[in-house]
Amino acid sequence: QYDATHRFWRLYSSERPAQQGEFPLPSLLMTASSLALFLGLAQLVGVSDELASMNQQVLQWFSALRQPLLDFPMVALTLLGDPPVLFAAAVIAVLLLAFRGYYAAAIHIASAAAITGISVWLLKAGIGISRPDQVLSAPSSGAFPSGHTAGMTVLVTLAASFVAGENRKHQRWQHYLFLSLPLLPVALSRLYLGVHWFTDVLGGLFLGLAITGATRASYSRYDRVALSPDSLTWAAGIGWLVFVAMYMMGNWETAVVSYAPQL
């Protein structure tokens, strides 16, 4: 038994000399705990009266909060979590890493993006929770889990994990905190606009964290060289921001009308 677990430990430990065989225990624990929370929530979300009551209370609170002054920034935040924006970020990251020779990192990011998109689509269709009836033109897909929340969670936490992995352990929390800041506003925008229940956002968060944890744990086996930014990295980041700006301008009027509250 010791020999089997020792081989498992060696398999997933980083081979970088600077990290001294670091084992991805936090990633594995986050995967297990987040997946357990997601599965538990998915089992209860359609049958629990307590969760349904909580969802209604949260929806009413955000409905009372709506005002024209807040609508515009919330629409902008929700557009930031749209699938084309997240997909563009994943494609740019994969192409950049592959071009620079970081093939393992590129494959893991591509896999995380594909797993997120496919799992969200299957879960929405399979669980079949209806969305709140609060806006003029709500998305036609199912409510649970929130795709915006799941996609943004994977994007920011996976980016934070790669950045933090290149820094000292006692400094990593700073990168996780800073790079995860966009997650909360995007998730709140879905609740504010009335297109998701509170449990949808929680489900998207748990699912995204589970995918990130599994991706990082798997990548640890291939973590042999440091990922260092260069001028091409900054150019790719600027290119993605330009795409985001163009996407928002092209879809702004449609989004404002679609997310307008019902009278």
Q: Mean pLDDT, 10 residues at a time, over the chain (263 residues)? A: 62 60 78 94 89 92 89 92 94 93 91 95 90 83 91 91 71 71 90 92 95 90 76 90 94 90 76
Sort residue 128 into left (φ over 0), alpha (ψ -120 to 50) or beta.
Answer: left
- Residue 45 sits in a domain whose CATH number is 1.20.144
32 in any annotated domain: yes
User: How many domains does one find in the chain?
Assistant: 1
Q: What does the radius of gyration of the chain's CA atoms come to, in whole angstroms?
A: 20
Tokens linked to 9: 């430990």
pLDDT score for 101: 87
16 in any annotated domain: no
198 in any annotated domain: yes
| Domain limits for position 127 | 26-258
pLDDT score for 61: 92
20 in any annotated domain: no
pLDDT score for 223: 75
pLDDT score for 171: 65
